[in-house]
Amino acid sequence: MKISQKFEDLILKQLESFGCSMGVTHLVIYLATAKQGTKATFEIIGHWPQFDRLLISIDDDPTLKVAEPTRRWYPLQENDILLGVLRVETNFKDGNWPVNLDSRLKALSVSLAKCVSIEMERQTSNEEINYLKNQVSIVIHQLRNPLAAIRTYAKLLIKRLGSDNDSIEIVESMMVEQNQINQYVDSFEKLNVPIKLPLDIGEERLLLPPNLDNEKMITVQNLLLPILERGKANAKLEKRAWTQPSFWPAWTLKAIESKYGVIAEIVANVLENAFKYAKKDAEIGITFTSKGLFVFDDGEKIKKNENDKIFQKGFRGAASKKKDGTGVGLFLAKKLAKQIGGDLKLLNGSSTHDFDEINTLKKTNIFYLELPIAELHE
């Protein structure tokens, strides 16, 4: 095991805190090591005092293998695994060590064993992370060429289609999705550089939309248009009714800060749930309100006793029992909505009277994404 400077300093502090105590003259910690095909040895990784002259390895010093009343060995053990040993030299020539000293040394050996175990786990984790980073780099490199080829073939196909506008529209949609994949690839590429983890974002955080440029002007409209096009295509493929806004309110057209880019992710997650769990002939769609938007479907009504539970991580309602899923989509969507000062709710009979827009929207399930409209454009 390669010893890091931080680990070495930690071991030294542990030994220093015990030094010059109750007759102890020297403390030496050895780490058990074994290379393939060789017998196990013990390597010195720390000692006190720093000018210690007793730094000969166990194998090279025969006197260390002979019992001495002034010396004791304490194992550094994690469960059944011997990680190393702590060698203690004292001035007790008669071998009668105080019980209190022996107890403290045992406690020190347990503490040192924990330090060694944690350091070994850290190094193993770092090795795994570095391996995965290398694999990500290779995959990214390999993805670039086929992605570029897909775009080239799509352009050639558009030329061959001539005036077939319907087919051209489909190919152009494919190019939009290809560009989105490119953005995901760019995001993966950034995993190999040091990052500052964002606050209040859990392990479920997705990369949608990826790589938002803080200097690039974004609007709710240009965030949602690709998602609406995707929804329209899915509905057409599944031969179900699809509704999307024909009019965009003023608040959707004004520039917003890049942190509100998660609006796209929220809407995408709610729509994904609708397409996944609503019955095949159910209508799905989006409509705007004065303070946000509705995502609705006309499928089987979500049971009343599940209204709050569906936003819990891992919960899967009756409609999802026989379908694939993780129960994370709505949990994450609500979490992100609250993160930007909004909220995500499932409207039921008792809550719909607060919305004038809902009077004409008689749908089975309506999710309301409330947004901080005033703050969006500050």
Q: What is the pLDDT of residue 338?
A: 93
User: Where along the chain do the CATH 3.30.565.10 domains lie?
Assistant: 215-376
377/371 Cα distance (integer angstroms): 12
130/192 Cα distance (integer angstroms): 9
183/172 Cα distance (integer angstroms): 17
Cβ–Cβ under 8 Å, residues 314 and 325 = no
Cβ–Cβ under 8 Å, residues 377 and 352 = no
Q: What is the pLDDT of residue 180?
A: 78
Measured CA distances, 96 to 16, 93, 108, 109, 171 (Å): 23, 8, 19, 20, 87
- Does residue 13 surpass a pLDDT of 70? yes
Q: What is the pLDDT of residue 215?
A: 52
Percent of the chain with pLDDT over 70: 81
Cβ–Cβ under 8 Å, residues 82 and 76 = yes
**Structure confidence at residue 311 as a pLDDT band (50, 70, 90):** confident
Contacts 24+ apart (CB under 8 A), 301-310: 301/364, 301/365, 302/346, 302/365, 304/348, 307/346, 307/348, 310/346
**Exposed, middle or buried: residue 343 (CB in 10 Å: 0-12, 13-18, 19+)?**
middle
Q: Which residue has the higher pLDDT, 197 or 308?
A: 308
List helix spans (H) across the chain. Answer: 5-16, 99-161, 165-189, 220-238, 262-277, 329-339, 373-376
Fold (topology level) of 215-376: Heat Shock Protein 90 (3.30.565)
Angle at 364 between CA 359 and CA 368, to 5 degrees: 65
Can you tell me whether residue 93 is helix, strand or coil? Answer: coil
165-174 confidence digits (pLDDT tens)? 888 888 888 8
305/317 Cα distance (integer angstroms): 10
Structure token pair of residue 335: 């979490």
Q: DSSP readout, 141-163?
A: HHHHHHHHHHHHHHHHHHHHHTT
97/73 Cα distance (integer angstroms): 13
The CATH number of 5-123 is which of 3.40.190.170, 3.40.50.1580, 3.90.1300.10, 3.30.450.40? 3.30.450.40
18/271 Cα distance (integer angstroms): 62
**Structure confidence at residue 288 as a pLDDT band (50, 70, 90):** very high
Angle at 172 between CA 168 and CA 173, to 5 degrees: 120
- Does residue 56 surpass a pLDDT of 80? no
239-281 confidence digits (pLDDT tens)? 899 999 989 999 999 999 888 888 988 998 899 888 888 888 8
Closest to 259 measured CA to CA, from 184, 199, 316, 203: 199
**Structure confidence at residue 294 as a pLDDT band (50, 70, 90):** very high
pTM of the model: 0.55
Helix count and strand count (H, E) for the chain: 7, 9
205/207 Cα distance (integer angstroms): 7
79-134 confidence digits (pLDDT tens)? 888 888 999 888 888 878 888 888 989 999 999 999 989 988 988 898 888 888 87
307/206 Cα distance (integer angstroms): 24
316/318 Cα distance (integer angstroms): 7
Q: What is the pLDDT of residue 242?
A: 93
Q: DSSP readout, 202-244?
A: -TT---SS-S--TTS-B-HHHHHHHHHHHHHHHHHHHT--EE-
User: Where along the chain do the CATH 3.30.450.40 domains lie?
Assistant: 5-123
